[in-house]
Amino acid sequence: MRTITEIQITGGNSEQFFTIIWFHIQDEFEFTLYAGWNLISIPLFPDNSTVSALFPNAEVSYEFKSGAYYPVSTLLPGVGYWIKIPQASTYQIYGQSFTSNTMTLSVGWYLIAAINQFSIPVTTPLTAITAI
């Protein structure tokens, strides 16, 4: 789903020829959300990451940070969100896979997302994560 569909090249007094090859592999992910509240994260970097583009009928979406919930209009990989949908729906999203994430966390609650690959959290010391 490209937002740029053409390019214009100007200048020069003679005829010019160009070959433009646009090679962009995108992954696909399917969401099945239920009526009401859903806890989600997006496993891709979509071309358009606004809530209205990804989940057109979403009523509201929230992010948890600094001990409180805040409304959001853009969704990013690596973050968990609460999203409210009026009726059960399935959505397809496309983009580049979110395959790695490094975070420094202090004591407290977080709503974070998994990457789009199998992973095992590594902590220092090894017992630092008490719940996943």
**Dist CA 44 CA 31 (whole Å):** 12
Domain assignment present for 5: no
Domain assignment present for 14: no
Domain assignment present for 4: no
- CA count, 13 A, side-chain hemisphere, 50: 5
Domain assignment present for 22: no
**What's the total number of domains in the chain?**
1
Range of the domain at 123: 28-132
The predicted model scores a pTM of 0.66
Domain assignment present for 8: no
Local confidence pLDDT in tens for the 132 residues of the chain: 455 666 676 666 677 666 666 555 678 888 899 999 999 988 888 889 999 999 999 999 999 988 899 999 999 888 899 999 999 999 999 888 877 767 777 788 877 776 655 556 666 666 666 655
